[in-house]
Structure 1
Amino acid sequence: MISRLANLILRLIGWRTVYSPPPGPKSVVLVYPHTSNWDFPLGVLFNATHPIFIHWAGKDTLFRWPFRGLFLRLGGVPINRRERTGMIGQLIDTFARRESFHLCITPEGTRAKTDHWKSGFYRIALAAGVPVGLGFFDFRNKCVGVERWVTLSGNEEADLALFRAYYADKTACYPEKAGDIRFKS
């Protein structure tokens, strides 16, 4: 029933979804571009519409009362971005411990304009040996989804070129805020 309701809401606001199931029980789902607060409710509706439970990483300051319980039930994983806490290692360990785990990460790490992507998702996917889902919000075409799955090669430049090609036709809510698809030098 929740799936049908979420799908109805998306249709009523003019959005559609694209979904390709993951090739296995574990994955990192990359979501780009991420420039708007609207990305979160659209992502929650997408997640409720399809038969995959996707966890998502968010800054720990979001997980305060009164939303903490709700965000945790929606799959939120609080991340302390103010200190180095070994988050990458902890998430790799989580992949090793769990039989099924799909983690959504926005590589920009913020809705503001960035000149590079954070490489955490890349290091996690390589170390855990899991595929990467290419998730997106396309505001021009009013479409949200995970359309394609890739296995990273370990060659950063080749993998970044693949991401640039895939995301070239996806339009952010605020295109001027979309981060450059490259890692920090």
Structure 2
Amino acid sequence: MSAVYRPRGLRQRLAAGILNLLGWKVVLEPPPGPKVVMVGYPHTSNVDFFYAILWAWATGRKMSWIGKRQLFGGLMGPIMRRLGGIPVDRDKTKNFVKQVAEIFAQREELWLVIAAEGTRSRADYWRSGFYYMALEAKVPIALAYLDYSRKEAGVGGYFMPSGDITKDFEIVQKFYADKVGHTPKNQGPVQLKPPNNP
């Protein structure tokens, strides 16, 4: 049973109130620290963004995301950063996971959202980048979700990656086993690509 969050400030109460009017509960298990890699599932519709933003406002959590440095040029740069964007180099000569770990090291607080499936359409496998980012940065993985069957939005648990991704992924599979997305036909299985599968 996840902990229902009690909002404090005016904006938090307003956002939580909107969610409550829509029949949704705001869930936030107490975080183990100020830095997490936040993996969300299921992500099957553009509508998810609306509920995710309301959840962030309701809990006072500033969610950040990673984007290619080219996206942050010109007039769009300040807007992208304001929306939580963090520019990184996606050059193949640079280790992406290490870049993210360095960003964590430079910040006192960071809730970094990673789309594990990488798409709103059905995906046969999850991408493992979120796991290795957390492992390299030595931060917990937050299990975030939008469950349309129960109308719950939130974070229902955390775990520290051990380095054994196969064993750790059992925690992820168990947690998300009963979560239902907005468009179930777009919801792929919670599984990693087999090592010998290109």
Q: Measure how far apart 1:115 and its partner are.
A: 0.8
- Aligned mates of 2:72, 2:24 — CA distance in 1: 28
Structure 2 CA distance, aligned partners of 1:67 and 1:173?
30
Shift of 1:147: 1.4
For 1:26-37, what aligned pairs fall within 5 Å after superposition? 26-37=35-46
* Identity level (%): 40
Provide the aligned C-alpha RMSD in A: 2.5
Q: Is the 8 A contact 2:39 2:116 kept in 1?
A: yes
**Superposition deviation, residue 86 in structure 1:** 4.1
Q: What TM-score do you get using the length of structure 2 for normalisation?
A: 0.81
Q: After TM superposition, give the deviation of residue 30 of structure 1 in Å.
A: 1.1
Aligned position for 1:131: 140
Q: Any residues of structure 2 matched to 1:86-165 within 5 Å, and which?
A: 86-165=95-174
Give CA deviations for 1:4-34 in whole Å, capped at 9, x if unaligned. 2211211122211111131112111111111
Give the match's secondary structure for 2:143: strand
Cα separation, 1, equivalents of 2:52 and 2:75: 20
The structure with the largest alpha-carbon Rg is 2
- Structure 1, unmatched stretches of 5+, are none
Cα–Cα, structure 1 residues 69 and 123, in superposed 2: closer, same or farther, change >3 Å?
same
**Structure 1 19/3 Cα, relative in aligned 2: closer, same or farther at 3 Å?**
same
AA of the residue aligned to 1:104: V
TM-score scaled by structure 1? 0.87
Corresponding residue number in structure 2 for 1:53: 62
Q: Tell me the equivalent position of 1:73.
A: 82
Name which of structure 1's ranges 159-168 and 52-61 shifts more when overlaid on structure 2: 52-61
Matched residue, 2:3: none
Question: 1 or 2 for the larger relative contact order (CA 8 Å, sep ≥6)?
Answer: 1
| TM superposition shift of 1:137 | 0.5
- Spell out, residue by residue over 1:52-73, the C-alpha distance to the aligned partner (whole angstroms, 9 max, x if none): 3221346789879998755532
Shift, 1:88, TM fit: 2.4
SS of equivalent residue, structure 1 residue 147: strand
| Cα distance, 1:170–1:59 mapped onto 2, change above 3 Å | farther
